Amino acid sequence: MTKLFTVDERVRWSAVDKAGIIFYGAYVRFFELAEMELFRTAGVPYGQVFDRWDMWLPRVHLESDFHYPSRLDDELRVAAYFTHFGTKSLRINFDVLHLGAGKLAVTGHEILVCTTRDTLKSRPLPEGLVEHLAPYLMTEEDARAELGL
């Protein structure tokens, strides 16, 4: 059974520009928050995952599209889910729903590559890690349907 992970957060003062609209780079913090909490909910908190499997998961790609402006104190629902597990990498998607407007504010994704800790050479994803994360594997269409979009 697949699950959509979400976390609600408000736009903070430090995230807005002079016009009162969220600065585009601030969404990376929302992505990070959702990613870290998804891993925690899956039973593999980042504070333990790297030591447990003796690896790193550096980001090698980050992409976002901006659809609707968010302003100071707006409440956002950030969904995080996986759309692909490769041999050595995974793709995590983020959909940011503006709760007040009921509109998709931002969509984004990251590609993370599993590497050794000493040389940062790519290596296969640990089976145990993928088993923990697999319940959060879904399509963009299914995730957005769960968000009510």
Domains along the chain with CATH numbers:
5-146 (3.10.129.10)
Q: How far is C-alpha 14 from the chain's CA centre? A: 21
pLDDT at 142: 97
* DSSP run (H or E) holding 29: helix 27-41
Query: Token pair of 142, please?
Result: 């299914």
How many beta carbons lie within 10 A of that of residue 71, not counting itself? Answer: 14
Q: What pTM value is reported for the model?
A: 0.95
List pLDDT tens digits, range 90-131: 999 999 999 999 999 999 999 999 999 999 999 999 999 999
User: 41-75: per-residue pLDDT in tens?
Assistant: 999 999 899 999 999 999 999 999 999 999 999 99
- Are 55 and 122 within 8 A, CB to CB? no
The CA distance from 9 to 74, in Å, is 8
DSSP state of 49: H
State the Cα–Cα distance between residues 111 and 75, nearest whole angstrom.
26
Residues in the chain: 149
Q: Check: CB of residue 91 under 8 Å from CB of residue 82.
A: yes
